[in-house]
Amino acid sequence: MTTTGTSVTASATATGSATVTGSATAGTGTLLRFALRRDRVLVPVWVAVNALMVLSMPGTLRGLYGTAAERAGLMRQMETNSSLRALVGPVFGDSLGALTAWRVGVYAGALAAVTSLLIVVRHTRDEEESGRQELVASGMVGRRAPLTAALLAAAVANAALALLVAAGLAVQGVAGALALGLGIAGVGMLFATTAAIVAQLTESARLARGLTAAVLGGAFVLRAAGDSAAGGDTSRAVGSGGGSSVLTWVSPLGWLENLRAFAGERWWVLLLLAGATAAQAAVAYALAGRRDLGMSFLPTRPGPAAGRLRTAGALAWRLQRGSVLGWSTGFLLAGLVYGGMTEGAAGLVADNERAREIIERMGGQAGLTDAFVSAMTGMLGLVAALYVVASVLRMGGEETSGRAEPVLAGAVGRLRWAAGHLVIAFGGAALIMLLAGLGFAAGYGHDLGPILGACLVHLPAVWVVGGAAVLLHGLLPRAAVAAWGLAGAVLLLGWIGPALDVPRAVLDLSPYGHLPKLPGGGMSWPPVLTLLLVAGALVGLGLAGLRRRDLTA
């Protein structure tokens, strides 16, 4: 026994010495291949969704604003509508390429940022929190190799997105397509390095994701406030040198719009993105070299000596209350913004037959204002699917991290444990849609009842997506990440399907395609009740699978 122990100790010492004396990034290639293999479903789906959102826009805009006069009229109207500028930014040119960059550029950059932060946190702090990184670090792996691999994985995803965007929009202008692709990828990499810094500061992957998402939300708010404040400035003409508020330049999303793809490109803005990314990466590497594995610069505060969580539901609430608060705040603010722009948006498209048709198709009715309200509440309902998936999959994180096992080893059964999380997931979806309705009604200044009905009618579809996530977690826990792909597909279909005049049979593949269109349209209970039954069946099958299978290690 002594000889064996000595051999093991000597081997471990030799391995540690090799790690210390070797390169700080030794083993990066192996970790990168492993990260790409783990993300072989999630990343391609999100990159494809983002690319399709951008590439589908020129065709849509060609139908909406087919003549130069219509496009020039749009630019004039945007100058006087501060609510719409806050939502989508200013228009810098009247070509189809410039309008594409205006309509989806900021949102594509934000989606690239979300994808990047998820990748980086997953392959850094998530790995440390689960204990896997400790096993990896015991081999011939450099101290900074995991961080390098995570950033390279994000770079691969953003490079693929940039290539798709540049190639797909090249027909609109090679220079503009390249600028937009590089700008979107640059925003993604900037927030990848932001996530890398936050991952060094916090002990919790959940907190790292939340804080980075909060930074992204702050960037969007600053950009929106800056664009709204800079209204009425005619110096935004193509090739002009000014016209943006200071607040816009504080935000990386403001840098993306001021790159002015297809409208006299400002290539030097890419240097801002590259410089900020390099600076943040340097900070992340410096922090990574100054802390122990599993530790952080902002350690979690110790809890009370006597536990105060007496039920599984209380524990689930404690774990997810930050997420619920963040989503609730975001939906309330989104409702206020959408409500405030309702009258202006209706006036913007009133004289454009094609735009009016799309809004009415999305809203499912002929009245333009009611159709716009229905379309915007429908968009909030689509985004709520992302919340419910994230909340349901929190159970998987508790399993794989080993935290669920000691809870289930006591008197708490699996169904009680899962029920706590599902109440937060499904009840939280109802809460955020309720707050969105309150915000919308406050911003719009009209009757509360119809607006709340328009928001809450989307809950059955949201719950069906959540039920699918429960089913995957219960029966195929290793494939549960596919729920993100389902949510992305539903979001993409609901967002661009009406604009592309997708056949009704395709739209009906989404649970949202069967919902009544409120306000203005008549309430139809059979499809709502059917979706509720489907959601209940999916949850029931998922819980049955959870009871029968082993916990995921």
Q: For 397-454, how does the pLDDT look when each residue is reduced to its tens digit (9 = 90+)?
A: 888 777 888 888 888 889 999 999 999 999 999 999 999 999 988 888 777 888 899 8
Instruction: Indicate if the pLDDT at residue 153 is higher than 90.
Output: yes
Q: What percent of the chain has pLDDT over 90?
A: 32
CA distances from 541 to 338, 383, 547 (A): 37, 25, 10
pLDDT value at residue 300? 67
379-403 burial, b for 16+ CB within 10 Å, e for fewer?
bbbbbbbbbbbbbbbbbbbbbbeee
SS3 390: helix
Q: Which of 154-158, 305-309, 347-351, 375-379 has the lowest mean pLDDT?
A: 347-351
DSSP-assigned letter for residue 346: H
Which of the pair, 483 or 7, is modelled with greater confidence? 483
Kindly report which listed range (63-72, 253-262, 406-415, 442-451) carries the lowest average pLDDT score. 63-72
Q: Are 211 and 291 in contact (CB under 8 A)?
A: no
> What whole-number percentage of the chain has pLDDT above 70?
82
pLDDT-based confidence at residue 14 (cuts at 50, 70, 90): very low
pTM summary value: 0.77
Q: Residue 307: pLDDT above 80?
A: no
Phi, then psi, of 489 in degrees rounded to 5: -65, -40
By three-state DSSP, how is residue 446 classified? coil
Phi, psi at 442, each rounded to 5°: -65, -40
Mean of all residue pLDDT scores within the chain: 82
Q: pLDDT: is 11 or 32 the higher one?
A: 32
Res 266: pLDDT: 93
Residue 112 tokens read as 């690239």
Residue 12's pLDDT is 37
Q: How far apart are CA 265 and CA 182, in angstroms?
A: 12
pLDDT for res 21: 39
**Residue 43 pLDDT > 80, yes or no?**
yes
pLDDT higher than 70, residue 216? yes
Task: Give the SS3 label for residue 157.
Answer: helix
The set of residues, in sequence order, having a beta carbon less than 8 Å from that of 431 and lying 6+ positions away, is 324, 328
Residue 352 has pLDDT above 70, yes or no: no
Judged against a pLDDT cut of 80, whether residue 244 lies above it is answered with: no
Find the range with the poorest average confidence among 105-109, 346-350, 418-422, 435-439: 346-350
CA 100 to CA 183: how far, in whole Å? 14
- pLDDT tens digits, one per residue of 490-540: 887 887 766 666 677 777 888 998 888 887 777 888 999 999 999 999 999
Dihedrals phi, psi of 60, to nearest 5 degrees: -65, -45
Give the pLDDT score at 365.
Answer: 47
- How is residue 333 written in tokens? 């603010």
How far apart, in whole angstroms, are the C-alpha atoms of residue 172 and residue 484? 32
439 vs 59, 377, 433, 452, 520, CA distance in Å?
Answer: 33, 11, 10, 10, 19
How many other CB atoms are there within 10 angstroms of residue 281's CB atom? 19
Nearest to 165 by CA among 150, 148, 183: 183
When mean pLDDT is compared across 187-191, 377-381, 488-492, the lowest value belongs to 488-492
Supply the pLDDT for residue 378: 87
The HSE-up count of residue 412 (CA atoms within 13 Å, CB side) is: 20
Contact 377, 436 (CB under 8 A): yes
**Burial, 1: exposed, middle or buried (Cβ in 10 Å; 0-12, 13-18, 19+)?**
exposed
Domain edges within the chain:
24-297, 311-553
- Band of pLDDT at residue 236, cut at 50, 70 and 90: very low
Q: Find which of 77-86, 125-134, 426-435 is predicted with most confidence, using mean pLDDT.
A: 426-435
Say yes or no to pLDDT of 461 above 90: yes
Does pLDDT of 4 surpass 80?
Answer: no
**R_g of the chain computed on alpha carbons:** 25
Q: Which has the minimum average pLDDT: 38-47, 56-65, 77-86, 417-426?
A: 77-86
Region of 239 please: left (phi>0), alpha (psi -120 to 50) or beta.
left
> What are the tens digits of pLDDT across the range 360-369?
555 444 456 7
Tell me what pLDDT residue 444 has.
81
Report H helices in 411-496: 414-444, 448-456, 459-475, 482-496
pLDDT at 314 > cutoff 50: yes
pLDDT range class, residue 73, cuts 50, 70, 90: confident
Confidence of residue 238 (pLDDT cuts 50, 70, 90): very low
Cα(450)–Cα(190) distance, rounded to whole angstroms? 41
Indicate the Cα dihedral angle 517, 441, 109, 236, nearest 10°.
110
Report which of 251, 270, 250 is spatially closest to residue 260, judged by C-alpha positions.
270
Residue 56: is its pLDDT beyond 70?
A: yes
Predicted pLDDT of residue 190 = 96
In single-letter form, the type of residue at position 433 comes to M
